[in-house]
Amino acid sequence: MSDILSISELNLAKKRVFIRCDFNVPMDEFLNITDDRRIRSAIPTIRYCLDNGCSVVLASHLGRPKSGFEEKFSLKGVAKRLSRLLDRDVIFANDVIGSDAQNKASALKSGEILMLENLRFEKGETKNDEILAGELAKFGEIYINDAFGVCHRAHASVEAITKFYDEHKAAGFLLQKEINFAQNLIKKPTRPFVAVVGGSKVSGKLQALHNLLPRVDKLVIGGGMAFTFLKSLGENIGNSLLEEELIDDAREILRKGKELGVKIYLPVDVVAAQNFSAESAVKYVTVQEIPSGWMGLDIGPASVRLFKEVLADAQTVWWNGPMGVFEMDKFSKGSIKMSHAIVETHATTVVGGGDTADVVERAGDADEMTFISTGGGASLELIEGKELPGIKPLRKAGE
């Protein structure tokens, strides 16, 4: 992966390094971190800087605070967890670019770590504000982006800040790993290459589907988006999720697949209910027999068996999007069984973050997947072939 500036190519010795991390971790109502994978993923880059005698300033966002400080979006808990994982103190600043952060940063010694408060408490972060970026740039002589999950957003700490660093900027180890996996998937997957795509909306995945079609051998479509495809084939889908305006697009994808010799698989049965609730009665019906007024909320057992067959000879699997409304146990079986089926293959398995990562975690399969992306939206855009605003400034000149 030669065209991205790598942290290992910089001379870091004794420098102060500003690392943009992605510590946007899920928390329960008591503000306990329920999954610290994103914090653990940042550790190799942080350790590498410490091994080089650097002092380190970490910055991240958490959630979507509306205006200024909100207790529930504070990174205090993240700093505590990181301190435990690293087994060393993490100094915490109570603001982002205010006096507390500035004083603690100027007192920082080599081998010490400072974490700034949630970047999004500053209005300018999501506006890609250059003044905020300039203030952040004062925290480090070197800028490292290791926050893959936000690389598809042009934010102050991701894009504008790079203008303040000439060659003293690079990608951290996690970011490089993410880009490598996505590029290898697109450029040289081991075949057969199967893409499994789910989630609720076709609209969010349309571009990715068009980009993947010429590259995959088989495509499995599940989740709410499958109903727009079934409708385009003339099935009666009852009250299931439908994107009316995309029926022609769905038909076009099926046609293009046929033309390219890509086998496309849709669910053959669903778990149907009259409404989405834990109390509602459910029945398993084939997709031809969804009663009017009912909706499909998960793939059924026959679809699970079919998809398992499809995956049997796969050598590369890319999975993005659950098979049903997995947040409710009643409708999570399809997604969980899909996760098991993917893990049981002998393939290189790549999971595109977000909801899909949650499913894999819930299914207990996380350790057996080859790679789980830390960014749902960003990994989708890489597969779509887009140039991400956070990655572009890290490309080497002339490439």
Residue 227 has pLDDT above 90, yes or no: yes
Question: What's the CA gap between 105 and 97, in Å, rounded?
Answer: 10
Residue 241 has pLDDT above 60, yes or no: yes
Angle in degrees, 0-180, between the axes of helices 333-343 and 301-311, rounded to the nearest 10? 20
- How much is the pTM? 0.88
pLDDT of 196 reads: 97
pLDDT of 1 reads: 45
Q: Which two tokens stand for residue 291?
A: 């009663």
Query: Average of pLDDT values for 246-253?
Result: 96
Residue 183 pLDDT class (50, 70, 90 cuts): confident
pLDDT above 90: percentage of residues in the chain: 85
- The catalytic site residues sit at 38, 201, 354, 377
pLDDT of 243 reads: 95
Alpha helices in the chain (DSSP H): 37-41, 43-51, 76-86, 99-106, 130-137, 173-187, 206-212, 226-232, 247-260, 301-311, 333-343, 354-363, 376-383
Question: What's the CA gap between 223 and 200, in Å, rounded?
Answer: 6
Query: Average of pLDDT values for 222-229?
Result: 96
Q: Which two tokens stand for residue 43?
A: 């550790």
Q: Which two tokens stand for residue 205?
A: 């995945």
Question: What's the CA gap between 116 and 303, in Å, rounded?
Answer: 48
Please report the sign of the dihedral spanned by the C-alpha atoms of residue 132, residue 137, residue 140, residue 145.
positive
